[in-house]
Amino acid sequence: MGLILGEDYLRLIVPELPELLLKRYRLLRRIYYAAPAGRRSLAAYFKLGEKVLRRELDTLRDQGLIHVEQRGISLTPAGEALVLGITPYLKLLLGLDAMEKELLKLLKVKRVSVVPGDLEKDEMVLLEMGRAGAKILRECLKPEMVLAVSGGRSCAAVADMLSDLPAPPGITVVPARGGLGEEVDYQANNIAARVARKLKASYRLLHLPDSLSQEALEMLLQEEKIASILELINSASVLLHGIGTAVDMARRRGAGEEEIRMLEAKGAVGEVFGFFFNGRGEIVDYIPSLGLYLEDMNNRVDNVIVIAGGSAKAEAIIAVVGNHPRDHLVLDEGAARKIMALAGIDAQALSV
């Protein structure tokens, strides 16, 4: 309470503080993830003049936060501790804490974690989201459970940011759904394997060809191997998935303009591993495949960790995660602010 009071005073009397703080924080964050980072590449990344950046680097160096060497810039232990530890404080200062509370009320989920920054402006935010998601994921893990993961960049970030401390024993990681052809790094199978490796858990994959007909899928269901994996998938008690915007996802699957117009007519805004949702959270279309039976998932999965960022995904997030008290939602500041705006809530704090 005293802390929040202090923050409010601080923002009142030094209104340029969030800007200053974020500028440097983003710089440090970038260095953390891209070390050893060169001055020129940093300048290019932030679209800053070289001199401007240099001045920032000078102050950071004076503060003992970065190490400037010939081979590049890296964080000192102090800088690393800062990047890793300042997040909750930053959230407080930026009012993200209050925003999380608002979103919690609005979306009626179990937990909301808003990561500082805008994914569309700084891709490091994705890694931060991965870090936040990984933290929540670890908290949800219990021995002998099945964890289902979907594809996508966000889930890949979670996999990347998971520490490789071992998880509780007996965990099995499976893809939430098979064969939804994406770039290999972002495929559910691939991510499931990566997550399993980090957790030192076992995994089972579901390799299916893309774009199968309904009949072909039903035939595959007869296969012993596939049926057993499907059973495993549907016994998952934790699900980690990202969210796509409907049109974008359809297009990435190679849908024609006609199909997209159909989707739009149905009101599809969000997509989760092949299922398309309208604004009211109803499934209006899906890509034929095998995997989680989404319809009765509510009864079986204990924790769903949803991770999505970028203001473009605001509508999709609202559509997908509304009213699921088992959901943990990880998103970025950009998406969070957009959601607030869509809901007509004024988020006074400024976005930098």
Partner DNA sequence: CCCTACTGGGACTTTTTTTGACCCATTAAA
Partner DNA sequence: TTTAATGGGTCAAAAAAAGTCCCAGTAGGG
Q: Should residue 16 be labelled a site residue for a second copy when binding is judged by CB under 8 A?
A: yes
Residue 278 to residues 207, 254, 294, 312, Cα–Cα distance (Å): 28, 20, 15, 15
Give 27 or 201: the residue with its C-beta nearer to DNA.
Answer: 27
* Cβ–Cβ < 8 Å for 60, 27: yes
| Tokens, residue 7 | 């923050």
Mention every residue, 6+ apart, whose C-beta is less than 8 A from residue 124: 26, 29, 30, 33, 34, 117
Residues 17-56 that bind a second copy (CB under 8 A): 17, 20-21, 24-25, 28
Phi, psi (rounded to 5 degrees) for 329: -115, 125
Dihedral sign for Cα atoms in the order 292, 293, 298, 300: negative
Please tell me whether residue 74 adopts helix, strand or coil conformation.
strand
Q: Should residue 78 be labelled a site residue for a second copy when binding is judged by CB under 8 A?
A: yes
Give 58 or 302: the residue with its C-beta nearer to a second copy.
Answer: 58
Residue type, 33: Y
| Cα 93 to Cα 120: distance, rounded to the nearest angstrom | 21
Residue 239 to residues 136, 161, 233, 279, 295, Cα–Cα distance (Å): 12, 17, 10, 22, 14
Q: Which of 62, 69, 224, 257 touches DNA by CB under 7 A?
A: 69
Strand partners, 146: 172
| Core vs surface per residue 306-320: b (16+ CB within 10 A) or e | bbbbbbebbbbbbbb
Name the one range near a second copy by CB under 8 A: 5-13, 115-123, 164-172, 276-284.
Answer: 5-13
Q: Which of 92, 262, 340, 349 touches a second copy by CB under 8 A?
A: 92
| Cα 316 to Cα 82: distance, rounded to the nearest angstrom | 33
Closest separation in Å from C-beta 22 to a second copy: 10
Give the residue from 206, 296, 316 showing the smallest Cα distance to 250.
316
Closest separation in Å from C-beta 27 to DNA: 12
Q: Which of 34, 35, 48, 86 touches a second copy by CB under 8 A?
A: 86
Give 2 or 344: the residue with its C-beta nearer to a second copy.
Answer: 2
Q: Which of 52, 54, 58, 63 touches a second copy by CB under 8 A?
A: 63
Closest separation in Å from C-beta 55 to a second copy: 12
Closest separation in Å from C-beta 109 to a second copy: 25
Give 283 or 352: the residue with its C-beta nearer to a second copy.
Answer: 352
Closest separation in Å from C-beta 187 to DNA: 27
Residues 7-46 that bind DNA (CB under 7 A): 37-41
Q: Should residue 126 be labelled a site residue for DNA when binding is judged by CB under 7 A?
A: no
| Tokens, residue 292 | 């989680």
Q: Should residue 348 be labelled a site residue for a second copy when binding is judged by CB under 8 A?
A: no
Element (H, E) at 111: strand 111-115
Give the residues lining the site for DNA (CB under 7 A).
37-41, 48-52, 55, 57, 68-73
Q: Which residues bind a second copy (CB under 8 A)?
A: 2-3, 5-6, 9-10, 12-17, 20-21, 24-25, 28, 59-60, 62-65, 78, 82, 85-86, 88-89, 92
